[in-house]
């Protein structure tokens, strides 16, 4: 959460920034390609693996940057763990092709695993909003990352 961290992440040649942009471009190309070829992104194996892989890396990159900007270590850890747990919750038990379809706290046809995933993510976002108001390690505010 210091000025050196800001410069490392925010400069145009930052590895983390370039990796994040490259993954976004890769996903955009995949979406355009699938649309042109009339492929269903939900069921085509290659497309799903690519989206999941990019999603995992993007989630970890975002968690790394956010945790680096939050001065309160327990809150930073909760943000990282919350993001990873929410992603794993959906990946392991909520996907259409998951090995086990979780039914805990679901009402078939009304409230599904996907809805629980959004509640988990909402709780992480609320924690992030709280953390945004806390002073950063360098005395600045979280909202002024770059």
Confidence tier at 1 by pLDDT (50, 70, 90): very low
Taking 90 as the threshold, does the pLDDT of residue 123 lie above it?
yes
Q: Could you give the angle at the alpha carbon of 24 between the alpha carbons of 20 and 26, nearest 5°? A: 115
Q: What global pTM score does this model have?
A: 0.66
Which percentage of the chain shows pLDDT scores above 90?
Answer: 11
- Give the model's pLDDT for residue 108: 85
Tell me the pLDDT of the chain averaged across its residues.
79
115 or 139, which is more confident = 115
Measure the CA–CA gap between 146 and 142, rounded to whole angstroms. 10
Beta strands in 28-141 (DSSP E): none
131 or 110, which is more confident = 110
- Give the model's pLDDT for residue 7: 58
Confidence tier at 5 by pLDDT (50, 70, 90): low
29 or 141, which is more confident = 29
Digit-coded pLDDT (tens) for 11-56: 666 787 788 889 999 989 988 998 898 887 766 777 778 888 888 8
User: What's the mean pLDDT in 98-117?
Assistant: 84
Measure the CA–CA gap between 17 and 75, rounded to whole angstroms. 24
Measure the CA–CA gap between 92 and 99, rounded to whole angstroms. 7
- Give the model's pLDDT for residue 104: 82
- Give the model's pLDDT for residue 58: 86
């Amino acid at each position: 959460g210091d000025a050196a961290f800001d410069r490392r992440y925010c400069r145009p040649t930052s590895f983390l920034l370039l990796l994040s942009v490259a993954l976004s471009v890769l996903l955009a190309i995949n979406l355009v390609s699938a649309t042109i070829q009339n492929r269903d992104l939900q069921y085509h194996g290659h497309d799903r693996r690519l989206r999941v892989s990019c999603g995992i890396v993007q989630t970890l990159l975002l968690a790394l940057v956010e945790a680096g900007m939050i001065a309160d270590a327990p809150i930073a850890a909760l943000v990282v763990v919350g993001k990873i747990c929410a992603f794993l919750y959906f990946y392991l038990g909520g996907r259409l092709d998951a090995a086990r379809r979780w039914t805990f706290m679901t009402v078939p046809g009304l409230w599904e695993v996907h809805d629980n995933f959004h509640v988990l993510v909402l709780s992480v976002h609320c924690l992030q909003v709280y953390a945004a108001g806390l002073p950063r390690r360098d005395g600045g505010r979280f909202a002024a990352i770059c």
